Amino acid sequence: MAHFGRLLTAMITPFTEDGAVDFAKAAELAKNLVDSGNDGLIVTGTTGEGPTLTEDEKLELYLVTKRAVGSASIIAGTGNYNTAESIHLTREAERCGVDGALLVVPYYNNPPQEGLYQHFKAIAEATSLPCILYNVPPRAPRNLEASTLKRLAEIDNIVGLKEASGKLEQFNAVVAAAPDGFLIYSGNDSDTFTLMSLGGYGVISVSAHLVAGQTRRMVEALARGEREEARELHLKLLPLVEALFWQPNPMPVKAALNELGFKIGKPRLPLVDLNDAEKARLRAVLQQYEFDPYLSKQLVAA
């Protein structure tokens, strides 16, 4: 069974002012995130703007981040709506030395449940990497049903699920369907308390770019069964989490990192930077928090 750890961050991809991938900054960010308390990172996922990256850019990101974090986990976002392309990229990522693959429910072409099963089965059988499935109905039209997950969990190297439906009935269903040892991660920071309380394993986070230390304390408290401590941390962090999703991810978290002194550039089109009014609104929330030490600029409320 794979051991990726309970707190993983879906890492953003830094860009230079002219829009090129900033590989040096990516390596620096990866190390900082692990030093701040993350067990590992998802690289070139949705938060990493994977659909806008070339294959060469993705492979170089896997290499530089893995070198930067040492024994921490690098999980490559290699799935898309094309099974053959997903197999190819997963194999190439494996050659780069990553520790696992994240495979999203295919978007746009909307396959039925049997199509989802065959898609994920084909990718898993083409690699020795442990695979985490990614259910995100808000960005893909099809929900990965619990009955399909149960079938897929019988495949040896399909070891976990990133569950980002945001629906309690789905949380209940997948936790009930998953076999012992299957790793169910919350795919939304706002759902971590609920999903882990039901038996989930951890979180694949966005807000842990900023507050990995506090998020780790919450996750560890939940793992110990100390729900009141976890509840207090959850409620404290919730306004920040909500602010990071006022606009499509990763627009707000990129703006937050820039505001806090860690310059990572703007998103690639078709995503855009926050406008001035949105940045002012975000800044007002950021002023309420203390952030991980690598963020040099701690905003102070006026």
How would DSSP label each residue in 242-269?
A: HHTTSSSTTHHHHHHHHHTT----PPPT
Q: Is residue 89 pLDDT above 90, yes or no?
A: yes
Please name every residue paired with 219 in a beta bridge, in sequence order, or none if there are none.
none
The contacts of residue 84 (CB under 8 Å, 6+ apart) are none
Give 216's DSSP letter.
H
Count of all residues that appear for the chain in the document: 302
Q: Is residue 300 pLDDT above 60, yes or no?
A: no
Tens-place pLDDT, residues 213-233: 999 999 999 999 999 999 999
List, in order of start, the domains of the chain with CATH numbers.
Answer: 7-226 (3.20.20.70)
Q: Is residue 27 pLDDT above 90, yes or no?
A: yes
Phi and psi (nearest 5°) for 186? -70, 130
Spatial contact of 105 and 142, defined as CB atoms under 8 Å apart: yes
| pLDDT value of residue 2 | 65
**Mean of pLDDT values over 117-139:** 97
Neighbours of 57 (CB within 10 A): 16
Spatial contact of 282 and 246, defined as CB atoms under 8 Å apart: yes
CA distance 99 to 200: 21
CA distance 102 to 92: 14
From 162, 185, 201, 289, the catalytic residue: 162
Question: Burial of 70 by CB count in 10 Å (0-12 exposed, 13-18 middle, 19+ buried)?
Answer: exposed
162 catalytic? Reply is: yes
The contacts of residue 156 (CB under 8 Å, 6+ apart) are none
CA distance 249 to 206: 9
Tens-place pLDDT, residues 171-191: 999 999 999 999 999 999 999
Exposure class string for 154-174: b at 16+ Cβ within 10 A, else e = eeeebbbbbbbbbeeebbebb
3-state secondary structure of 182: coil
| pLDDT value of residue 246 | 95
134 catalytic? Reply is: yes
Please name every residue paired with 135 in a beta bridge, in sequence order, or none if there are none.
163
Nearest to 241 by CA among 198, 220, 210, 217: 210
Hey, what amino acid is at 106? P
**Mean of pLDDT values over 155-168:** 96
Spatial contact of 187 and 136, defined as CB atoms under 8 Å apart: yes
| pLDDT value of residue 138 | 87
Helices (H), strands (E): how many in the chain?
11, 8
| pLDDT value of residue 302 | 43
* Residue in this structure with the two tokens 């993705």, named with its chain if needed: 58
Give 10's DSSP letter.
E
From 117, 134, 201, 289, the catalytic residue: 134
